[in-house]
Amino acid sequence: MKLSKVTNILLAFAILISSQLACQTLIAPTPSALPPKVTEAAPTSADTPAAPTDDEIKAGIQRSLDLYAEAYTNNKPDVLDQVIDSENKPFYRIVRNRFDEFQKSYLAGQIEFEYVVVDITKREYGFVIAHIEGGNGLNAADWPFRQLGGNWVLSEPTVKQAGEPVRTETDHFIFTTYPWADNVNQKIMDMMETARSDVEKILGKAPEEKANVKIMPIYGLSPFNPMNAIALYMSEQGPIKNIIEVYTPFSYVYGTYDPAFGWDGELQTTLTHEYTHMVHARVFDKAGRLSSWMSEGLAEYVSSSNNDKIYYACNAMRSGTFIPILDETGAVFKQDLMHLTMLTENVGLAYNYSQSLVKFTVDNYGGLDGFWKLAGSLDKTSDFRKAVQDAFGIPYDEYNEKWLKWLKAQC
Ligand SMILES: [Zn+2]
């Protein structure tokens, strides 16, 4: 599963602001393909209010974004409520959930949010996609808004508006796409092929079986999906195997992105992350299955070639927010990397720590072979302390101390 940037990019956002990097060229929103049966509302009667001009729309969306930023900065859920489409229930839930998760994280209260509407693209059903910048141009987003009760609220199309699903089968994938996202569907399908070959290059193999990839423009299509994810892999669901679900750009669910990489640059990383999960499951028999850091850390390691996110783990550790490999405090719900998916907070940061641990292991204990050896020992012993001893011939405490020392030097 790949987490939304609500936790991850904000971390980047906070740190990058202080390093004052220059703003990069932004990816402009592409004109959207129209789904069928669209009728233009063009009332001309003198008593009908004139349609708002682009400037009026931008001003209205800006007002909503100011409230959204205020809500995030000062933890004001009631202010947030004013700018979410309350008629779209699954959508409302995901916006609130991401807000609540952020307010629980160690970054809450530390960031002053600001968003600026750069331009807008009109879509069907009264939607307007706003291209937004934040953090002095270091953060970007393309979010849909619609008018509700005189305000422009954050929203997404309904399942019906997203359109009828379309099935496309290729050599390695069976894609399901929706007409709403026809401006990006083909590009994402091509990027999925790139993801497959990138993973194959690093891990040495890729399965012949096809992945079922669902390219989803709205959260409402799977309203019970984890709300902090922008993509996920399921090894099976009922009779269907190897399902990858990914949210498309130009949606709120997709979150924000670093304009230096563009939405497509970040999405490529996400697709590679998910396909790594599939290779891990189908080619490597999900080795290390007892430890969630091995799975997520591997997916992060394979998908981000420069491992830049390890910097954030280093930085967080230095400022006192640390997540250990093993929580040995005797807590019932262990707060450690072995149980990454069950953490009550800072899950995004746990991904960064996990990635650092994979890279540390690969770099210091015999490359990826060393990593697979450790994973295999864990499967055999069901005890991470024993697994380290078994795989590397050193005590866990020594491995752990070396990792901490190594990590401290990464920022
Ligand atoms: Zn994942």
Q: How far is the CA of 67 from the centre of ligand 1 (A)?
A: 32
Q: How far apart are the first and last CA of the chain?
A: 26
Q: How far is the CA of 315 from the centre of ligand 1 (A)?
A: 22
pLDDT of amino acid 274: 97
Q: How far is the CA of 277 from the centre of ligand 1 (A)?
A: 7
Is 18's pLDDT higher than 50? no
pLDDT bracket for residue 17 (50, 70, 90) = very low
φ and ψ at residue 391, rounded to 5 degrees? -80, -40
Is 45's pLDDT higher than 80? no
Q: d(Cα 374, Cα 370) in Å, to the nearest integer?
A: 6
Average pLDDT for 270-276: 97
Q: All domains of the chain, ordered by start, with CATH?
A: 2-157 (3.10.450.50), 161-282 (3.30.2010.30), 292-408 (no CATH)
pLDDT bracket for residue 48 (50, 70, 90) = low
For β-strands 151-154 and 139-148, DSSP reports them as: antiparallel
Q: How far is the CA of 231 from the centre of ligand 1 (A)?
A: 8
pLDDT of amino acid 46: 53
Contacts of residue 403, Cβ cutoff 8 Å, sequence gap at least 6 = 325, 356, 357, 360
Q: How far is the CA of 387 from the centre of ligand 1 (A)?
A: 23
Q: How far is the CA of 60 from the centre of ligand 1 (A)?
A: 37
The answer to whether the Cα torsion of 146, 102, 400, 283 is positive or negative is negative
pLDDT bracket for residue 107 (50, 70, 90) = confident
pTM given for the model? 0.86
Q: How far is the CA of 272 from the centre of ligand 1 (A)?
A: 10
